[in-house]
Structure 1
């Protein structure tokens, strides 16, 4: 106590002396300062309060910091906080969407604070730009963001499907409506002539993820491209998804960002107070549409007309459906195969807590979805997540650990006919299953036909284990200078077994039990040390990043087949098979190294400049070609900060011009493509070459240009952004054709071909109504993409002459010219352009571009008291094909087949002859069956009700929400196929209609 008294005297004496010697000269009373000074060392207190908005609603997650110190906390879900401070300290309160607030602590300070909504919300929206953060106001690049609330409101398996209709310039198309199947994603079009060269870069918590679908022999592998590696991430653990599109945003990723970058950020703890969050929903999925097919009487009528038109007598072999099968039997095969209801269940549990220095979030989720097919197979996934972050007392050291682990299990029937036969089996066909559940072979073999469900008892089980971990360490070396390093590791293992028992096939073949095993392993690690610098300079702020990347990926893929199991119980146990053969084996290694830097300058809060550079090295190219330089420049001018606008035009709240230009590369080709390759011959000690040596090919190059304007009106209640972009990809990596005398079909090389993607993107956000009890916000986006091949030297003499055309999109089909119905034969006719009496590619002079003319979405968010309603309409303008009009042949047809019985029908007459079949095959390669496949779809709908606090108090529950979520509920389209989102044949579908109900609880 004695020592403290001396310290107090010294503290008080210093201002006293200062007052006597200096302030006394200015007639200031020194005794006044002596009387009012209160040393902070002895007046400490614990502040407890609530932070609310202007409507009195508590705000969770508000940062509360003691100015000039490392002491801080966050408000809990009820807006409550507790912090220890001293009288005279200044508390800083900050939260996205609200103005920052500061207050000095006094002895009577209650701790209750009211935050005001920020007039300029753009400044508060923090955006993850990859290696750094920015705001929507200050960004120089094109970065769009989807928040956690928008992701959680959708009953989905894959997080990327949540982006559909929400982002301009981003196309996401499901390949097939089977849970777990990958989606096709394109950011601003197709840049490469190779399919695998158009995949964007996936980044999860700073770690690059191999975006290639996982191979397999299941329905997903055959029809859906493979399983998506992002399935194993829990949707309730995602904080946000950002998509980087232009050169300024992607150049810092160099070659990896050529096709855009998708950043997935997982959640961290939100408060130092322990919290438990629980989500649960259950519901069902079903096929949202049906194709109108012929019933039995209509089908038989068309079939009989076909024999009459051809002048052929029906027999048991060519007309068993007319003479053998029951003429009164009717089975709706669409309903039989695709009419089931798939139950859906999801449960998630997250626990977070910690202290002001250390916080954690630990959780897991379970998802289960059945099938609409006539089987009991299902899809399941279990995910786990851990996020741990810590900062030292002096705030110099910061550490963050993010771990995600997921198990994905898919049980699928092995019969591929489930996707095609619902539309082709005659409606009066006999049953495919016997009463005991076995395949009905007798009725089908009696007419010489295979049972459509051949392979029905095949069972394909695929299991994916995916581990993703990242450790980020940051240390402040001095004020404005930080050292940071990010270390990541991923391990993905996929095991797929397809069991094929003999009783799943025609018994006449005496087929043995068989199994196919597909194993895929992917492992990667990455290390990225960085220096980050920030300093006020010349009236502005300089931000700089300098770093390097070391990355290594390894992968193995093998497929084995076991044949001759004694019992079906042993199928899958390779040790019990009579013979085991290796179908394929692949072992790859990929190394990547880069040096990157960024220099950003902000002056007067209205002028922004961003310079980015990266030097990349890839092991996929030969010596001397492995390194390349990429970079970009981005600039922005917030002209609304200029005095002539700010002072004179009050209704114009925000205006910004933005532009960028730069280059990125692309090395998305197979590993070791530049080396000679050999395979072992079937004979002893033999090798034969399979690939030619070519060390001279190197990076594809993508040059990106963008100009944009962003406007805000009426205090940012109306925000408009218009973007124009042009991307040109050159030095294309393709397989160049070789003469047959070389013994090889092609060699990997760079082709001086150029692909251009350009277009317009428009985004509009409005706050239509904003009041105490009712709020309504709308967001709208639309994209007008244009893709074309602008250069391809000697195209007419290359192997691609029948694939591409200068000035046309890459995804085109060369078609015959449709010449109407031949009046002499009654069959479809196409034009013989060169008059040589045959039809080949020389006669295909028309082309159809299978691209979207425009697409977008409009989302509305409405809140009224405790209710909230969100719904998104997705729209697409496009063309597609619609087949199943080979009227008269065995197999069901669309309802339009009845029109073939009319004299003025646009379709050829019903026929079962070979000539009618040839005519139908030819017309499929003409514009005849192309149709408008545009659609307007209610993509998502979410209705939430927050249970009042008064009801929850006695349950010790902090917050509870009841909700109903819907997906693909309504589709308005002129397309008569199954799903306009997958309009290539008419019988495929991209997504199911799903309706779920659930509850969210916070304790």
Structure 2
């Protein structure tokens, strides 16, 4: 029987005490191990069968280093120990040359063999460090990083006992086999103290955590073939809402944690990569980066390689985020990259290739349907058809058909990925080096792609006496993004299905068809290419030194440099000759440098039956952002259009140079009494350069507490099936400084007019030193419950956040000479809701396993107060008691059966917009299932949302004009008495035309139910048999197939995530590959 003792407090070694004070006489050995658990938090793993005849011990130690203590305890015993990270393995001392002890027996001698194998968990992941012991013998070995092991001198009829931190103990008979192949271990569902959580400035465990933190592992991310790792978080964490704006490479991703906290200011969470803030200060804003039309700007996370990510933690409540002060008001996302394990030299390779196509495309009319619509529209209007108003009917080929949507969005994107890794080292020093290459094309016609090269290096070192530790990580990425000037989906309506060719036989644009002039040629925008070169460097160095037991000094320094250089060319060949075109290019350069330094002091000491842990630190940060935009024109040739110096004219169209400085002092104190009662208090004093004198500093704090009631004896007795029960409470106040730089200063701008050739300046905003931090108050109640041998794990959270002191732009009278001033008002915003996560081990035996996790979020956003809202310029945007996201819409009443014209319940003024539509999801979440059978693994991930959004008709032109329409428009009114979904066709600005063009897009008719259930990811893998791999000296070969965005169940017409008929839909991907470890 294997005992896993001292599993609690599985913290990083930097924050744990490494000394022991123990005084005991004639105590069992397991009591000594329990003392190690209580005082250090180190996990101790051993086989209790080996200690059956061990005599009691008498030990007297005061503040003795852990290693010295273990050596003293085990000195006269036939045992040895090894320490890996914060886990202590106890095993029998190995006999010389790994030969078994001599056993005198009357039985016939049995054959001794050497046995090899590999230990994987049910997800196909290697179980590094697993202990493989011969039952009833002194021989044992630990698995390597890839899970492989070798035991020499094994009885051919022996039984192997396999143990590990995160797996269930199990036995397997040798039965004469020299290679037992891959053995699958069940993932252990024990207490949550084995799940280590990164809380930013400190590390805790799921059991002892007092805040609301969700952890997503690197395995969950790598299963998903997406270039942007943030997209891989969809459906994996409650309270985290993620939306991709379109299906083009590098598309911006909207991320929100527990709702919108601010009326007008930043609502994005804080991103931290290995201790370095990332994307801070609007590095990728529309003011600094060429945008892909209104569909989105380039996401900074295309610069991250998912293969380098070890885990991502999402911090949500005040207890978890307050240590980050104002920067964490909207939540924090911590990204931790992978580290070497320091167990020999390992080489890995991962190669994959796949393809992608647009999902949920609209179905437009074919030529016959389109021409029928056009003729009917002219007939309804009583208009005659002529060459000017109907070239599609009289000039163009009426039997020609081109599916323009398929032409422009129906291509196949190709995706290639290569990852090469090398790691190694020993207990003291280890390293990890990884290089990645990603190449992805688009579904659009033309040579457009996203190519990324990344290199990451991590080095860790700790001194022999364990007092000094250092970790240095560096991540570099170079990304080349080539796209058209903008997403051309908005032009699809402009092309009738019988429209003539847009390109001639030589590939040049056609602008004239007979006597008909083509005003817009969508291919022209494909000729106007946008090229972006992005470089990203993230580097962090952390040093720690244990001054004396329980007191550690730490220094973390980080640097992030992001540079983007973008060029959009507008060659003559892409322009209409009738417009007197000339060659010109737009150049945009953004350089952001961000450094941060954070000294810290950590203290930990056991006091009585409790342990007190304290942290104090300071933070200095500076972000310098430089932006320049130049338009260069009149190039003599198109070949020189990417060089500014070759232009005939150069115009500086914009420039910006900003500096943001931030400093803070912070502290944390935590008290843990008998792993039963927990209290965590955090405080921070923030200083920001974004506020004026006297308002630059503010104080924020939070408190979190927890009662682990399952540790109570009366609970254990009354509810023995409860393995873990914990109640959590937290409350805190933080601020928000995502307001832009220099807003408190008196600002000026260039005038649109000039006098005698001199351009003047005009005032924009007056000096206002009084505006201050927005404030967010967060309240949380939580329950964690594990039952039935931890086979069912449930977490439920209730949150209620209140935002105050909102900063808005307040319009000023013209006589002041200024347009507006930013000021704080007593507007209040509430975000409240419920989150739930349930994990269930449905099936578990030697061959099969099936585990399912479901998360659910119900979040409600409300504007509780806004002083004098009805008399402000915001009266048409907000309503007291409603979400900040609402749309005020005309009340769509359908089609009048007598006239065939759309009707509304009033369209005379803005006050007639009486329908309040909330696009926020009523609820959303995800479902993940992992199936395992021997060497096969299959994982599916669903995400879902109940919501409303703009439908495919919102951007559609009036049905009947010379524009194609979705086939749904065929269900139209044709004669009096018809009950139809769509009004009669028209070509004019008649009553029917005005009803559509002037009001429909602003009415409730242009919004629909966008509820969906999507198979977001499916992953299948097969790991080759270890016996065969040993013959070719390979540790692992795994084949895998992955699919992303595979299907959607929804009544919504189009993509319910993008919710736009003119944007390229998200892509359906299929990828296959191979992973090899040597």
In structure 2, relative to structure 1, the CA distance for the partners of 1:415 and 1:813 (3 Å cut) is closer
User: Is this contact kept in 2: 1:52–1:115, CA < 8 A?
Assistant: no
* Structure 2 counterpart of 1:900: 972
Confirm whether residue 937 of structure 1 aligns to residue 1025 of structure 2: no
Which of 496, 499, 521 is the matching residue for 2:566?
A: 496
Q: How does 1:445-464 map to 2 (within 5 A)?
A: 446-447=516-517, 449-464=519-534
* Structure 2 counterpart of 1:980: 1056
* Structure 2 counterpart of 1:869: 938
* Structure 2 counterpart of 1:589: 659
Q: How does 1:472-487 map to 2 (within 5 A)?
A: 472-487=542-557
In structure 2, relative to structure 1, the CA distance for the partners of 1:63 and 1:465 (3 Å cut) is farther
In structure 2, relative to structure 1, the CA distance for the partners of 1:100 and 1:581 (3 Å cut) is farther
* Structure 2 counterpart of 1:738: 812
User: Is this contact kept in 1: 2:121–2:167, CA < 8 A?
Assistant: no
Which of 278, 293, 297 is the matching residue for 1:209?
A: 278
* Structure 1 counterpart of 2:626: 556
Which of 848, 859, 862 is the matching residue for 1:774?
A: 848
Q: Distance in 1 between matches of 2:424 and 2:410?
A: 46
Shift of 1:221: 3.5
User: Is this contact kept in 2: 1:777–1:861, CA < 8 A?
Assistant: yes
* Structure 2 counterpart of 1:147: 217
User: Is this contact kept in 2: 1:305–1:901, CA < 8 A?
Assistant: no
Confirm whether residue 946 of structure 1 aligns to residue 1023 of structure 2: yes
Confirm whether residue 887 of structure 1 aligns to residue 956 of structure 2: no
In structure 2, relative to structure 1, the CA distance for the partners of 1:40 and 1:512 (3 Å cut) is closer
Q: Distance in 2 between matches of 1:446 and 1:46?
A: 94
Shift of 1:454: 3.0
Shift of 1:627: 0.4
* Structure 2 counterpart of 1:965: 1042
User: Is this contact kept in 2: 1:58–1:79, CA < 8 A?
Assistant: no
1:596 alignment partner, SS class: strand
Q: Distance in 2 between matches of 1:576 and 1:348?
A: 40
* Structure 2 counterpart of 1:25: none
Confirm whether residue 713 of structure 1 aligns to residue 791 of structure 2: no
* Structure 2 counterpart of 1:920: 996
Q: Distance in 1 between matches of 2:186 and 2:231?
A: 35
User: Is this contact kept in 2: 1:659–1:708, CA < 8 A?
Assistant: yes
* Structure 1 counterpart of 2:648: 578
Q: Distance in 1 between matches of 2:514 and 2:337?
A: 54
User: Is this contact kept in 1: 2:121–2:184, CA < 8 A?
Assistant: no
In structure 2, relative to structure 1, the CA distance for the partners of 1:686 and 1:974 (3 Å cut) is closer
User: Is this contact kept in 2: 1:658–1:709, CA < 8 A?
Assistant: yes
Q: Distance in 2 between matches of 1:852 and 1:545?
A: 39
* Structure 1 counterpart of 2:403: 332
In structure 2, relative to structure 1, the CA distance for the partners of 1:119 and 1:905 (3 Å cut) is closer
Shift of 1:433: 1.1
* Structure 2 counterpart of 1:858: 927
Q: How does 1:836-851 map to 2 (within 5 A)?
A: 839-851=908-920
* Structure 1 counterpart of 2:612: 542
Shift of 1:721: 1.1
Please, what TM-score do these two structures have when normalized by structure 1? 0.89
Shift of 1:635: 0.7
2:293 alignment partner, SS class: helix
Confirm whether residue 282 of structure 1 aligns to residue 353 of structure 2: yes
In structure 2, relative to structure 1, the CA distance for the partners of 1:55 and 1:622 (3 Å cut) is closer
1:671 alignment partner, SS class: coil
**Most deviating of 818-827 and 562-571:** 818-827
Shift of 1:44: 11
Shift of 1:120: 2.1
1:372 alignment partner, SS class: coil
1:900 alignment partner, SS class: coil
User: Is this contact kept in 1: 2:973–2:983, CA < 8 A?
Assistant: no
Which of 557, 560, 582 is the matching residue for 1:512?
A: 582
* Structure 2 counterpart of 1:993: 1068
Confirm whether residue 61 of structure 1 aligns to residue 128 of structure 2: yes
Confirm whether residue 291 of structure 1 aligns to residue 362 of structure 2: yes
Q: Distance in 2 between matches of 1:667 and 1:469?
A: 25
**Most deviating of 428-437 and 454-463:** 454-463
Q: Distance in 1 between matches of 2:449 and 2:807?
A: 40
Confirm whether residue 829 of structure 1 aligns to residue 900 of structure 2: no
In structure 2, relative to structure 1, the CA distance for the partners of 1:39 and 1:820 (3 Å cut) is closer
What is the total number of aligned residue pairs between the two structures?
Answer: 931
Shift of 1:338: 0.7
User: Is this contact kept in 2: 1:274–1:352, CA < 8 A?
Assistant: yes
User: Is this contact kept in 1: 2:489–2:1061, CA < 8 A?
Assistant: no
Q: Distance in 1 between matches of 2:574 and 2:559?
A: 42
**Most deviating of 166-175 and 842-851:** 842-851
In structure 2, relative to structure 1, the CA distance for the partners of 1:115 and 1:411 (3 Å cut) is closer
Q: Distance in 2 between matches of 1:114 and 1:896?
A: 53
User: Is this contact kept in 2: 1:317–1:447, CA < 8 A?
Assistant: no
In structure 2, relative to structure 1, the CA distance for the partners of 1:706 and 1:50 (3 Å cut) is farther
2:405 alignment partner, SS class: helix
Q: Distance in 2 between matches of 1:548 and 1:439?
A: 61
User: Is this contact kept in 2: 1:320–1:447, CA < 8 A?
Assistant: no
Q: Distance in 1 between matches of 2:1016 and 2:186?
A: 34
In structure 2, relative to structure 1, the CA distance for the partners of 1:333 and 1:444 (3 Å cut) is farther
| Deviations 1:481-503, CA, capped at 9 Å, x for gaps | 10001000111100001111011
Please, what TM-score do these two structures have when normalized by structure 2? 0.83
Q: Distance in 1 between matches of 2:143 and 2:830?
A: 49
**Most deviating of 473-482 and 281-290:** 281-290
Q: How does 1:438-449 map to 2 (within 5 A)?
A: 438-443=508-513, 446-447=516-517, 449=519
1:337 alignment partner, SS class: helix
| Deviations 1:436-494, CA, capped at 9 Å, x for gaps | 11111122871463323333311211010000000000000000110001000111100
User: Is this contact kept in 1: 2:295–2:1063, CA < 8 A?
Assistant: no
| Deviations 1:765-817, CA, capped at 9 Å, x for gaps | 01111212111100000111101100100000111000001001001111112
Q: Distance in 2 between matches of 1:63 and 1:698?
A: 55
Confirm whether residue 617 of structure 1 aligns to residue 693 of structure 2: no
| Deviations 1:105-145, CA, capped at 9 Å, x for gaps | xxxxxxxx999975524110101000111111111100001
Q: Distance in 1 between matches of 2:784 and 2:613?
A: 23
In structure 2, relative to structure 1, the CA distance for the partners of 1:78 and 1:180 (3 Å cut) is same
In structure 2, relative to structure 1, the CA distance for the partners of 1:45 and 1:477 (3 Å cut) is farther
1:451 alignment partner, SS class: coil
Q: Distance in 2 between matches of 1:343 and 1:734?
A: 45
Confirm whether residue 198 of structure 1 aligns to residue 270 of structure 2: no
User: Is this contact kept in 2: 1:53–1:116, CA < 8 A?
Assistant: no
User: Is this contact kept in 1: 2:289–2:588, CA < 8 A?
Assistant: no
Q: Distance in 2 between matches of 1:800 and 1:869?
A: 51
Which ranges of structure 1 fall in alignment gaps of 5 or more residues?
1-27, 29-35, 65-71, 83-92, 102-112, 833-837
* Structure 1 counterpart of 2:202: 132
1:527 alignment partner, SS class: strand
In structure 2, relative to structure 1, the CA distance for the partners of 1:51 and 1:739 (3 Å cut) is farther
Q: What RMSD over aligned residues (CA atoms) do the two structures have, in Å? A: 2.7
User: Is this contact kept in 2: 1:334–1:423, CA < 8 A?
Assistant: no
Q: Distance in 2 between matches of 1:553 and 1:753?
A: 30
1:796 alignment partner, SS class: helix
Q: Distance in 2 between matches of 1:839 and 1:124?
A: 64
Q: Distance in 1 between matches of 2:261 and 2:618?
A: 27
User: Is this contact kept in 1: 2:365–2:965, CA < 8 A?
Assistant: yes
Shift of 1:166: 0.9
In structure 2, relative to structure 1, the CA distance for the partners of 1:208 and 1:556 (3 Å cut) is same
* Structure 2 counterpart of 1:652: 722
2:435 alignment partner, SS class: strand
